[in-house]
């Protein structure tokens, strides 16, 4: 990972341009996340889950519930990736804190995958 500590910080945007800058930063995050294999698997699984819900004529409430849980999973994956990026920068070799941080991030993602699967099974079974 490159360290740009010697580069000048861009000026802080104010008002409406702050909103636009935030949207641009979020798009940058999405671009970075799209490099992660786990993210691509989750997008594929999300599309498959939506197809199953539509085929089973799920209600709008069920589809909205699944969409909210899926967005929570993507948010957790983004935070997990952020943790991995920082940890890899701080601990290029083996370190106990690095193992713990990454394992905890993985656990958070696993919990959300479980919640998504549980809701999908519930929506398809009822």
Ligand X SMILES: Nc1ncnc2c1ncn2[C@@H]1O[C@H](COP(=O)(O)OP(=O)(O)OP(=O)(O)O)[C@@H](O)[C@H]1O
Cite the annotated binding site by residue number.
Answer: 36, 38-42, 77, 84, 102-103, 106
Nearest to 44 by CA among 65, 69, 26, 70: 70
Question: Token pair of 50, please?
Answer: 């939506």
Helix, coil or strand: residue 59:
coil
Residues of each annotated binding site for a divalent metal cation: 36, 84
Q: Which stretch binds ligand X (CB under 6 A): 20-28, 54-62, 101-109, 116-124?
A: 101-109
Q: Which stretch binds ligand X (CB under 6 A): 22-30, 68-76, 91-99, 114-122?
A: 91-99
Give 108 or 124: the residue with its C-beta nearer to ligand X.
108
Residue 44 host element (H or E): helix 37-55
Position of tokens 């104010």?
14
Which residues contribute to the site for ligand X (CB under 6 A)? 36, 38, 80, 84, 91, 94-95, 98-99, 102-103, 106
């Amino acid at each position: 990972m490159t360290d740009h500590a010697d580069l000048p910080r861009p000026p802080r945007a104010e008002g409406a341009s702050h909103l636009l800058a935030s949207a641009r930063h979020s798009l940058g995050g999405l671009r970075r996340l799209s490099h992660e294999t786990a993210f691509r698997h989750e997008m594929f699984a999300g599309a498959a889950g939506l197809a199953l819900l539509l085929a089973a004529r799920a209600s709008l409430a069920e589809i909205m519930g699944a969409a909210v849980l899926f967005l929570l999973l993507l948010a957790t994956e983004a935070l997990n990736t952020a943790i991995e990026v920082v940890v890899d920068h701080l601990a290029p070799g083996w370190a106990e804190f690095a193992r713990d941080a990454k394992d905890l991030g993985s656990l958070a993602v696993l919990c959300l995958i479980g919640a998504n699967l549980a809701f999908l099974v519930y929506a398809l079974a009822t």
